[in-house]
Structure 1
Amino acid sequence: MNPFDPHQAGPELRPVAVITGAAGGIGAATARLLAHTHRLVLTDADSDRLHALHTILADEGHRADCLPGDLADADTAQALAELCARTGSIRSIVNAAGLSPVQADWRAIIAANSIGPMRLLAALEPLLAPGSACVLIASVAGHLGPQDAAVQTLLDDPLQPDLYDSLHPHIAAVVAAHGGTLEGQAYSLSKRAIIRLCEKSAPGWGRRGARIVSLSPGVVWTPMGRREAASGHRAQAMVDSTPCGRWGTAMDIATAAQFLLSDAASYITGCDLRVDGGAAAALRGTQF
């Protein structure tokens, strides 16, 4: 056995893959893929679903360490970093944690989609090694939604005090100008912030020999996507406008993330990959 070949090495010798939002559709699909070559460290705010995923992976012979908690909480992010430091060398990070408009109010969406990723990177960056790679799950909504310079500036530093009080009038102004809801616009703006976070982080990661990429799914047939579809017509309307003519699947996103984390993508960093069936190309410039 070659202990440096992740396909042959036992779980204790494999590089570590950290997956947040691991119990969701995209997170779980990614965990199932990376489990074949990595030892997993999984986290999710839903402890029951995280435990269920751990049981499935264990039954399939995979090793995973689990930490339930909300990454917007600084203590959870620090506990995750400490668990990773005890587990092994971090090779892969996938931030699949996030909330959509149908799941929460706008403040919780900002916390999950902006504060959580920032705390995650701050906690794990000291553990990076040459060859480490990260994929931040963004959204095509970050490309199609309206832009606002004031919101963008605030979300570039989401750990600042009084973030919500500062954000509220600006997001309300976006709603007044473009329609939609506070939750919908907060979702689009926070996903755009993830794309910017990736770009801003790339130079520092490069100095460590590491890469960071964002990935923007279109409409994906996951539990979150199905809830969005059931809440109104917008999700299906986007599918109908998508050149590929279908919903995306969690595995569409997971396999793209697997590629971005691999050595085959070693010259890709600081950018966003749209895995949206062509939705952004078809809808750019429209008010959707």
Structure 2
Amino acid sequence: MTQFAIITGAAGGMGTAIASLLGRTQELLLTDVNREKLNELLEKLSDEGIQAQGLVGDLSDPHVAASLAERCAGSGNIRSIVNAAGLSPAQADWHSIIRANIIGPVQMLNVLEPLLGAGTACVMIASVAGHLGPPDTEIERLLDNPLQSDLYGLLEPKLTALVAAQGGTMEGHAYSFSKRAILRLCETRALDWGDKKARIVSLSPGVVATPMGQKEAESGNRAQALVDATPAGRWGTAADIAAAVEFLLSNEAGYITGSDIRVDGGAVAAMRGKAF
């Protein structure tokens, strides 16, 4: 049977780089909310001789997630899964950030997990913000179960209190906690994935020179300050992230699961313990 790779958020900067790399050895099933950009990517990959099909939609929508599962069930063996979908504080309100960054990923994993096979590997793109944002055990517990009813109603007063106590914005804190939720998600699900001889890891990029990263830097948020503090002395690139993803999905990374890999130029090491 054909082995294929699923990439969500495929039309974004990191998703496109990952698709071009994985498409050399695997057939691709790509998802994105932006129909026009996804079609442009599919055309580009076709010109490169890469076989890919697309699914347009928001995976936080159960109907879209179900359509993804249906496509997978008839396509062959799932070899690789990469969740590169997400929104940053400069792009959206905090509700949309929570929906894209944790509700959608959980919805996706829930429909795909029954289809896992031996050798399936998954990389969930997180962020250094998940390491550097302030802790709050109550918010973390809520996001451990992001499909619960009235999630936004439960989160709003806690995020409001956090902004009042520590500054920042609702969007910034929602982003940090949603990415920390991805780290926790990969840890907790690794046990069941191991029973199926499958692996799941998270990858935390630093500030990456994609349209999303550049918009964050231009917005006056903390992205540029993080770049300035990075020991590597430069922005990350989509190619940096794609290369790390390719390794983590490979058999050479077969002993890596349930953990987070930081591809951040040393940003967390430089900022640990400092206000972010």
Specify the TM-score bucket, using the shorter chain as the normaliser. Answer: over 0.9
Contact 1:14/1:37, CA 8 A, preserved across alignment: no
* Residue of structure 1 equivalent to 2:102: 114
* Residue of structure 2 equivalent to 1:226: 214
Q: Measure the CA separation in 1 of the matches of 2:138 and 2:39.
A: 40
AA matched with 1:172: T
* Residue of structure 2 equivalent to 1:60: 48
* Residue of structure 1 equivalent to 2:32: 44
Q: Deviations over 1:22-44 (max 9, x none)?
A: 00001110000000010000000
SS at match of 1:87: coil
State the identity as a percent.
63
Q: Measure the CA separation in 2 of the matches of 1:177 and 1:244.
A: 32
Q: Measure the CA separation in 1 of the matches of 2:233 and 2:164.
A: 32
* Residue of structure 2 equivalent to 1:76: 64
C-alpha change, 1:189 and 1:127, in structure 2 (3 Å) is same
AA matched with 1:124: L
* Residue of structure 2 equivalent to 1:127: 115
* Residue of structure 2 equivalent to 1:217: 205
Q: Deviations over 1:51-80 (max 9, x none)?
A: 000000011111101000001111111101
SS at match of 2:146: coil
Which residue of 235, 245, 259 maps to 2:233? 245
Q: Using the TM superposition, give the Cα deviation of residue 85 of structure 1 relative to its aligned residue in structure 2, in angstroms.
A: 1.3
Contact 2:2/2:75, CA 8 A, preserved across alignment: no
Q: Measure the CA separation in 1 of the matches of 2:34 and 2:139.
A: 29
* Residue of structure 1 equivalent to 2:4: 16
Aligned ranges 1:1-288 → 2 under 5 Å: 14-232=2-220, 234-288=222-276
Contact 2:183/2:202, CA 8 A, preserved across alignment: yes
Q: TM-score, normalised by structure 2?
A: 0.99
Give aligned pairs, total. 276
Stretches of structure 1 that go unaligned for 5 or more consecutive residues are: 1-12
Contact 1:44/1:68, CA 8 A, preserved across alignment: yes
AA matched with 1:142: G
AA matched with 1:154: L
Of 227-236 and 103-112, more deviation after overlay is shown by: 227-236
Q: Measure the CA separation in 2 of the matches of 1:60 and 1:84.
A: 23
Q: Using the TM superposition, give the Cα deviation of residue 233 of structure 1 relative to its aligned residue in structure 2, in angstroms.
A: 5.5
Q: Measure the CA separation in 2 of the matches of 1:270 and 1:57.
A: 31
Q: Measure the CA separation in 2 of the matches of 1:114 and 1:100.
A: 12
Contact 2:133/2:177, CA 8 A, preserved across alignment: yes
Q: Measure the CA separation in 2 of the matches of 1:220 and 1:104.
A: 18
C-alpha change, 1:233 and 1:110, in structure 2 (3 Å) is closer
Q: Deviations over 1:192-219 (max 9, x none)?
A: 0000000010000000000000000000
Q: Deviations over 1:143-196 (max 9, x none)?
A: 000111111111000000000000001111111121110000000000000000
SS at match of 2:74: helix
- Tell me how large the CA RMSD over aligned residues is: 0.8
Q: Deviations over 1:65-99 (max 9, x none)?
A: 10000011111111011111111100000000000
Q: Using the TM superposition, give the Cα deviation of residue 234 of structure 1 relative to its aligned residue in structure 2, in angstroms.
A: 2.1
Query: Which runs of 4 or more aligned residues in structure 1 lie more than 3 Å from their structure 2 counterparts after TM superposition?
Result: none
Q: Using the TM superposition, give the Cα deviation of residue 122 of structure 1 relative to its aligned residue in structure 2, in angstroms.
A: 0.2
